[in-house]
Amino acid sequence: MSLDVTALRQQFPILKTQIDGKPLIYLDNAATTQKPQAVIDALVEFYTTCNANVHRGSHHLSDEATRRYEKARTTVARFINANVNEEVIWTSGTTESLNIVAHGLAQKLQSGDEVIITEMEHHANLVTWQQACIKSGASLVVIPISEDGELDLAKFKAALNNRTKLVAFPHVSNALGTINPIKEMTAMAKAAGALVSVDGAQGIAHGGVDVQAIGCDFYSFSGHKLFGPTGIGCLWGRKDVLEDWPIWQTGGEMIADVEYQQTTFGTLPFRLEAGTPNISGAIGMAAAIDWFMGLDQHAIQTHEKALLTRANELAADMQGLRLIGTAKNKVGIMSFLLDGAHPADIGFILDRQGIAIRTGDNCAQPLMKRLNIPGTARASFSIYNTIEEVEAFFRALKKAQTMLA
Ligand SMILES: *Cc1c(COP(=O)(O)O)cnc(C)c1O
């Protein structure tokens, strides 16, 4: 069965938006995805019927809020095939998840230790480790990529040694669209005795993430790139690793016993979740996952591939367009430059035609410097985009090219 995109689009109220009388064409999905009615309803329903704090009250509403909040954790755990629920820590998003890992790592690192990252990192998966290394005197080792935007696996393997304490890489690059061979990379890093942390902010949106099959120690992701709300995300970590990971924030909820001069911290998952959590966000994120898993996974993957294939055909036909990131294994993220045009001007002209893209450094300044470019324009496709929208985008791009020539 092919995907009924028209029916799918009906579930996203925002896609009916007009910009200056022109229908919105939303191609900034790698920055954040739009939300289906099911997610919007879940948020409204929570606040309408059972808003209360969790794990605290001795009353009906609190019990119900707690039940739904913990059920949401189960939904996430199943979605990524976690071994047990306690391995799923609620965070405000990928950035906070990575900070929990880096903050703990900084306490374990010593001078002479090494942390490996790649040239294709988002700042969230770079500044975190860089700061942990600065604090501890460890070295940050950066694995190069090819001109196509693929990781040099031979160099990756060669860089691993008994000083390597942690290896961090993205499942999917937000700037290049590259899908990394994360199972293979994890196996190599584990063989060297290193911990492995995967930045799953982009990878999660394409489904099929199985943390046990990947074999990593940490996998971080956000709700908002997966059709869920902003301000909620998860850190998944292997239970034995998380159990003695240095605590992150302190306060209510994360404790077992408190006295004036000392505290016994709680058990997983609470020891890494201080304070009142984002309850509605967790419930909204679970609603997004339920909604997403209700779709025919094969059909959405086929549709996503078709969007990228059509975009690649049109890009190949367009003089003066240079694609940034042409890895063999890619998601529907298309970064590009037009000869003689500044990305910001391209974005402005497209916006006048109702088309939303990203322009700039893609939160990856060192990668832009490595590629010798100031930044890119980036169109990123999601399952609710249509082939017609991809074609309209290229028509608008040609117009921009003429105007900026
Ligand atoms: C979006 C993104 C992040 C950061 O996610 P937040 O939701 O902003 O915390 C990290 N890495 C990659 C690859 C991303 O695309």
Residues contacting residue 113 through CB under 8 Å, at least 6 positions apart: 136, 138, 139, 163, 164, 165
Task: State the maximum Cα–Cα separation within the chain, in Å, rounded to a whole number.
Answer: 70
Distance (Å, whole) CA 65 – CA 62: 5
CATH number at residue 91: 3.40.640.10
Assigned domain for 59 exists: yes
Interval 299-357: pLDDT, tens: 999 999 999 999 999 999 999 999 999 999 999 999 999 999 999 999 999 999 999 99
In a domain, 355, yes or no: yes
- The alpha carbon dihedral of 168, 376, 386, 22 has a sign of positive
CA distances from 379 to 36, 180, 300 (A): 21, 20, 18
Task: List C-alpha distances in Å: 352 to 92, 243, 244, 345, 346.
Answer: 33, 52, 53, 11, 10
- Whether residues 382 and 323 share a domain: the answer is yes
Instruction: Assess whether the C-beta atom of 66 lies below 6 angstroms from ligand 1.
Output: no
160 CB under 6 A from ligand 1?
A: no
3-class DSSP state of 325: coil
- Report yes or no on 43 lying in a domain: no
* Encoded tokens for 275: 């304070």
- Could you tell me which residues are beta bridge partners of residue 379? 334
Residue 35 lies in a domain: no
Q: Which of helix, strand or coil describes residue 252?
A: coil
pLDDT score of 285 = 98
Question: Does residue 203 share a domain with residue 332?
Answer: no
- Domain co-membership, 213 together with 243: yes
Residues 197 and 248 in one domain: yes
Ligand 1 centroid–CA 168 distance in Å is: 14
Residue 320 lies in a domain: yes
Same domain? 198 vs 317 = no
- Among 236, 271, 293, the domain-final residue is 293
CA 20 to ligand 1 centroid distance, Å? 30
The verdict on 357 and 252 lying in the same domain is no
Same domain, 322 and 366: yes
Where does a domain end: 239, 260, 293? Answer: 293
Same domain, 104 and 164: yes
CA of 383 to the centre of ligand 1 (A): 19
Residue 358 beta carbon below 6 angstroms from any ligand 1 atom: no
Catalytic residue IDs:
363
Q: Is the CB of 125 under 6 A from ligand 1?
A: yes
- Split into its structural domains, the chain has a count of 2
Residue 354 lies in a domain: yes
Q: Is 174 in the pocket of ligand 1 (CB under 6 A)?
A: yes
- The pLDDT value recorded for residue 51 is 97
For the Cβ of 142 lying below 6 angstroms from any atom of ligand 1, the answer is no
pLDDT in tens, the chain (405 residues): 789 999 999 999 999 999 999 999 999 999 999 999 999 999 999 999 999 999 977 899 999 999 999 999 999 999 999 999 999 999 999 999 999 999 999 999 999 999 999 999 999 999 999 999 999 999 999 999 999 999 999 999 999 999 999 999 999 999 999 999 999 999 999 999 999 999 999 999 988 999 999 999 999 999 999 999 999 999 999 999 999 999 999 999 999 999 999 999 999 999 999 999 999 999 999 999 999 999 999 999 999 999 999 999 999 999 999 999 999 999 999 999 999 999 999 999 999 999 999 999 999 999 999 999 999 999 999 999 999 999 999 999 999 999 998
The confidence score (pLDDT) of residue 207 equals 82
Q: Whose CA is nearest to atom 1 of ligand 1?
A: 201
User: Is residue 221 located within the same domain as residue 361?
Assistant: no
Range of the domain at 167: 50-293
Cα separation values, 276 from 62, 247, 262, Å: 12, 16, 22
Residues 110, 212, single domain; the answer is: yes
pLDDT of residue 39: 98
| Residue 388 maps to a domain | yes
The sign one gets for the Cα dihedral 231, 232, 236, 242 is: positive
Judged by phi (left if over 0) then psi (alpha if -120 to 50, else beta), residue 275 lies in left
Q: Take atom 3 of ligand 1 and give the residue whose Cα is closest.
A: 201
CA 261 – ligand 1 centroid, Å = 38
Taking the centre of ligand 1 as the mean of its atom positions, its distance from the CA of residue 95, in whole angstroms, is 6
Nearest atom in ligand 1 to 173's CA: 13
Atom of ligand 1 nearest to the CA of 31: 1
Q: Which atom of ligand 1 is nearest to the CA of 97?
A: 9
Is the Cβ–Cβ distance between 274 and 249 less than 8 Å? yes
Please indicate, yes or no, whether residues 64 and 122 belong to a single structural domain of this protein: yes
Specify if 207 maps to a domain: yes
Nearest CA to ligand 1 atom 12: 201
Ligand 1 atom at minimal distance to the Cα of residue 124: 10
Query: What local confidence, expressed as pLDDT, does residue 378 receive?
Result: 98
Q: What is the CATH number of the domain that holds 19?
A: 3.90.1150.10
Among residues 293, 326, 356, the one where a domain terminates is 293
Asked whether 95 lines ligand 1 (CB < 6 A), one says yes
Q: Tell me what pLDDT residue 57 has.
A: 77
Residue from 129, 202, 209, 224 whose mutation best tests the ligand 1 pocket (most atoms within 8 A of CB): 202
pTM above 0.75, yes or no: yes
Q: Are residues 125 and 267 in the same domain?
A: yes
